[in-house]
Amino acid sequence: MYGWLVTRFWFVCDDAFISFRYARHWAAGEGLVYNPAAEIPVEGYSNFLWVAISALVERCGGDLVFVVPCLSVLCGAWLLTLVFRTCEERTGGNTEAAFLATATLAAFPPFALWASSGLETMPFALLFFLTHRALHTTAHPAPGKALVAALPMALIRLEGIAWALVLGLLVRLGVRDRLMHFGKYSLPLVGGYLIYWWWRWDYYGLPLPNTAYAKSGMNPQTLVRGLDYVVVFLLTFLTPLQLVWTGWAAWRGKSQGTPATILVILGVHIYAILVGGDFMSMGRFLVPAFALQAVLLGQALASRRTSLAPRVMAAVFLLLGLLPGFDVHLVPESIRARFHFRHNTTAYRSEYQQWKFMKSNSHDLAILGQALAQVSDSEDSMVFGAIGAVGYYSGLHIYDKIGLVNREVASLPWDGELHSPGHDKVVEWDYFLPQHPTYLFSMLLHEPSGRPAARERKAAKNRSMATNWMEYWRQHSAYFEYLPASYLIPHERGRSLLVVLRKCPPAERGLDPSIEWNREVRELVRKLTELEASPG
């Protein structure tokens, strides 16, 4: 089931390409930077260890877009194995309960979805569980084993060090033993982390990654959005039904580490609220709790007196979790939409629809980046927002509208308007005009394909996008040093029309920029007509 769901939900998130670009430059000896030509390096990632692993893959000649997600999938498989073993240990060797609980996790779409993605989500969840297991599952905590997982966890995610310390503080022992074990665990942990932290500050000049400064921070508005984020996930996958039943049954069974496990699960949800949620699909910030919930489920199933009851309950929870992976919901959309938290979109998307959008968008941005690479030079630059795949494939110097790899934008005060979670600081295109970027804007219009009706709808959408684009930029006379340019680009799906706003020297613009503008617009319309006439 795990392998099938991973195949079904396989995708490489656009944000993963940001880490890939850092890794590629590091492996090539250009430094741990996004834009090699930048005077001051900017830490536009929050997953140092995952970038380091990706750089090693790049150095060995591996394809980052394939190998790195595969490593994440293997981490998910390892985590499933650990969940099974932990369930067996906590239930006194009840293999059936352990198998049912593990199967429920393996068939959980959010778990399978985040097993790929190219991000560090699943490796972080694995290290999180390993640390928790060493400290809370056995009768006698093993600080040494916990440290082996906790230090990498602190390096693979920005919040990893905080979670490592929290897990250490929750050790269930007498006061004297707790302090002794926490000291053996925390002192080398903090010492090792401080070495990395000092290097990072020395290299980048800031105590935290630039991505932390690019966020709006904690305030009432973002807290409400974070709460909506958690509520939408809970209403989608109905996990409260499982959490309440399993938590009560596991607590009643008084298994070793159960109170700490329940507290950590609650803490993961509280953390997601405090940081204001996440725009990505299917509860990425909640993934570390999934394996712990499965362990509680195993304990609860083992407490059933008949062999039929655990099978029925496991089947119920498996079905409740699996259905939303096919966009089938028991809670009506009208209720779920009340907690709409992705404020960069007006229409509500289910978690399944958001995944489809992310997958399609990442693929389209990859094609855009490849198209830009065909028409640009290595010293060219561009203003853009979603800088992942476009930056990775184009190789252009990127001016980041969202500020993840741009300090000036990240240091701006938040204007109080909510956008996409985690991306509330956004500047307009003209913010970077003093830097004279080569391209101010770019987009792709894809070749219409399919049946005649579908082709006509796609052609109409292309014409609408082109018209709106031309009208928007025509109204900004300050941009007349930039002229439209269009290129028909072949790719694996057929052909697309690449449309850019390109900076032109005065000698190319002529005496009257509007004449050149209209000429380029007519050329764009001609190529768009040619694209529509293609056989598709």
Question: What's the chain's average pLDDT?
Answer: 85
Over range 485-513, report the average pLDDT: 77
* Closest to 350 in 3D by CA, of 365, 331, 368, 373: 331
Q: Half-sphere exposure of residue 472, counting CA atoms within 13 Å on the CB side?
A: 12
pLDDT tens digits along 271-309: 999 988 889 999 999 999 999 999 888 888 887 655 567
User: 3-state DSSP call for residue 245?
Assistant: helix
Most confident of 56-65, 470-479, 488-497: 56-65
Over range 141-163, report the average pLDDT: 90
Most confident of 150-154, 403-407, 467-471: 150-154
With a cut of 60, say whether residue 74 has pLDDT above it. yes
With a cut of 80, say whether residue 517 has pLDDT above it. no
Residues 6+ apart with CB under 8 A from 411: 213
Q: Burial level of 369, CB count in 10 A (0-12/13-18/19+)?
A: buried
Over range 413-435, report the average pLDDT: 83
Other CB atoms within 10 A of residue 456 CB: 13
With a cut of 90, say whether residue 314 has pLDDT above it. no
Two structure tokens written together for 400: 């980041």
Q: How many angstroms separate the CA atoms of 454 and 443, rounded?
A: 21
Q: How many angstroms separate the CA atoms of 481 and 505, rounded?
A: 7
At residue 177, the pLDDT reads 61
At residue 254, the pLDDT reads 56
% of the chain beyond a pLDDT of 90:
43
Q: Is 371 in contact with 494 (CB distance < 8 Å)?
A: no
What is the three-state SS of 344-401?
CCCCCCCHHHHHHHHHHHHHHHHHHHHHHHHHCCCCCEEEECCCHHHHHHHCCEEEEC
At residue 192, the pLDDT reads 93
* pLDDT band, very low/low/confident/very high, at 321 (cuts 50, 70, 90): confident
Sheet-wide strand order for 494-503: 397-400, 381-384, 439-446, 494-503, 482-491
pTM of the model: 0.91
